[in-house]
Structure 1
Amino acid sequence: MATAAFEAIAEDFEFLEDWEDRYRYVIEQGKAMEPLPDALKVPATKVDGCASQVWLHPVIESGTFRFDGDSDALIVRGLIALLRALYNDMPVSEVGAVDARAELGRLGLHDHLSAQRSNGLRAMIERIRTVAAAS
C-alpha cells in the first residue's frame, strides 16, 4: 500500500541498474526538498537513534498525515524524501498499516544501507508511526 508518489519512485528505481545511480537518485530527492526551518530543528522534532542529525516535523490536518524533515547528511535527507513520498497526504488512519520495510525493500535499500543508516531509517519510521497512532 504505497502512495502514487512512492510508486513513481519505485518505477524510476527499476530503470536504474547501478547502485551508484540509485544513491545519486536518492540524494537528488533529498536536495529537491525544501529545508526545514531552523525554528523547527528542536529537541521535540529530533529523531534519536540516527547516526546523523535528523528532524521530522509531522502535521495532521483534516485526518491527513504529512511531514517535513531534514538531516545534515545528504543520503539521510534523501531517505527522508523517500519516506515523505511513502506517507505524505495519506489518511492518518492508514499510516500504521503501511509496511514501510517491505515498500522500501522493493527499492533494494536494505541490502545497500549501512547498519547505522538502517537503524536510523527504522527510528524515523517508528517516529512516523508513533505520531500517527497518537492522533
Structure 2
Amino acid sequence: MSLPNEAQAALDSFQAAAGWEQRARLLMQWGERLPALGEAEKIEANRVHGCESQVWLTGSLQDGRWRFSASSDARMIRGLVALLLVRVNGLGAEELQGLDLPDWFNQLGLSRQLSPSRSNGLNAVLQRMRELTRQP
C-alpha cells in the first residue's frame, strides 16, 4: 500500500534523522503543526479513553475517505498523534481497519522510544478512529 504524500514526507525526514535527539525534535515540530481543535470539540464525547494524557479526536467522511482531527495536552503525544493522522487521513474505512500501527512507528524509528503507556494510548486513538468509521 502506498503512503499518502504527507506520510511519505514524514517517513523520509524521520529516516534521515541521526539518532533519537533529532527524532524527538522532529516529533515536537510535527506536534506544533497539528491544527488546534476548537473548545467546542474538546468535549467528553470526543475524548479518547485509554490515554494517560488528554486526547480528543473527531472524524468526518468525505467522498469515501476519512479525515481526522485531534488534539492533546501533552507535547510528545501531540507529535505522535500528528504522525498517526498523516498516516490515516484520506484512507477508506477498510484501509483503516487494516493499518499496522506498530509497523508505521517502527518505520519512523520511534517504536523503541514508545513507552507501553504511550503505545497503549496510540492504540486507543486508532481504536477510536476505527469505531468512528463503523458508526452509521
TM-score, normalised relative to structure 2? 0.92
Structure 1 stretches of 4+ with a deviation exceeding 4 A read none
Q: What corresponds to 1:39 in structure 2?
A: 40
The share of aligned pairs that are identical, in percent, is: 36
Alpha-carbon deviation of 1:93?
3.2
Residue range with higher mean Cα deviation, 69-78 or 124-133: 124-133
| Mapped partners of 1:81, 1:127: distance in 2 | 15
Q: What corresponds to 2:122 in structure 1?
A: 121
Q: What corresponds to 2:93 in structure 1?
A: 92
Mapped contact 2:93–2:130 kept (Cα < 8 A):
no
Unaligned runs of 5+ in 1: none
TM-score, normalised relative to structure 1? 0.92
Aligned AA for 2:29?
E
| Mapped partners of 1:123, 1:33: distance in 2 | 19
* Residues 10-58 of structure 1 deviation map (CA, whole Å, 9 limit, x = unaligned): 1111110220110110111110121100100011110011111000111
Q: In structure 2, the residue corresponding to 1:90 is in which secondary structure?
A: coil
Tell me how many residue pairs correspond in the alignment: 135
Alpha-carbon deviation of 1:92?
2.9
Structure 2 residue 102 is matched with structure 1 residue 101:
yes
| Mapped partners of 1:105, 1:97: distance in 2 | 16
| Mapped partners of 2:76, 2:70: distance in 1 | 13
| Mapped partners of 1:14, 1:110: distance in 2 | 13
Mapped contact 2:15–2:109 kept (Cα < 8 A):
no
Unaligned runs of 5+ in 2: none
Q: In structure 2, the residue corresponding to 1:44 is in which secondary structure?
A: helix
Alpha-carbon deviation of 1:91?
2.4
Q: What corresponds to 1:130 in structure 2?
A: 131
Aligned AA for 1:85?
V
Aligned AA for 1:60?
L
Q: In structure 1, the residue corresponding to 2:52 is in which secondary structure?
A: coil
| Mapped partners of 1:86, 1:133: distance in 2 | 19
Mapped contact 2:60–2:66 kept (Cα < 8 A):
yes
Q: What corresponds to 2:31 in structure 1?
A: 30
Q: What corresponds to 2:20 in structure 1?
A: 19
| Mapped partners of 2:92, 2:125: distance in 1 | 19
Alpha-carbon deviation of 1:68?
0.5
